[in-house]
Amino acid sequence: MTPITRTVGFYLVILIALAQLSNGLRGLLDPLNFSEYFGVPASADPAWVQIYGLRSLLLGTLAAVLLWRREISALRWFSLLALPLPLGDLWLSHQAGAGTVILLRHAVVALILVMTFTSLQRWLRRVGTN
C-alpha cells in the first residue's frame, strides 16, 4: 500500500491550504492590493475583500486540520465541494474585466481541486476505503 504522503493529492492539499492561508492574510492585511491581484478591484470600502480573507483563512485552516488528522475521505469531498468557489471567482473576475492571467489563475485553482479529488479518490479506492 502506498502511504498517503506519496500521493499527488497529499501535496496538492498542502498547496491548497497554504494558498488559502496566504490569500486570507493578504485579503485581511492589504485588501486593496489583494483585490487587484484577485481581479476585482475594490471600491472605497474594502470590506468585501476582508470577508474573502476570512473565508480563505477558514478554508485553509480546515484543509490543514483535516490533513493533520489524516481525514483523507473528508479532504476528498472538501476538494470537490470547494470547486464552485474558484469557478465563481473566475466568473466574477471575468465580469469585472480582469485580464487573462488572472482568469487563468482562477481556472488553475479549479483544476487543482479536481486533480486533488481524483488523486485522493484513487488512493482511497486502492486502500479499500470509500
DSSP codes, 53-97 = HHHHHHHHHHHHHHHHTT-HHHHHHHHHHTTHHHHHHHHHHHHTT
58, three cell numbers:
477558514
Which of the two residues, 48 and 11, has the higher pLDDT score? Answer: 11
Q: pLDDT by residue (tens digit) across 12-64?
A: 999 999 999 999 999 999 998 998 888 887 766 788 889 999 999 999 999 99
State which residues form the domain around 109: 4-126
pLDDT, position 44: 64
pLDDT, position 41: 79
DSSP state of 46: T
Q: pLDDT by residue (tens digit) across 84-120?
A: 999 999 999 999 999 999 999 999 999 999 999 999 9
- The total number of structural domains in the chain stands at 1
Residue 1 has pLDDT above 70, yes or no: yes
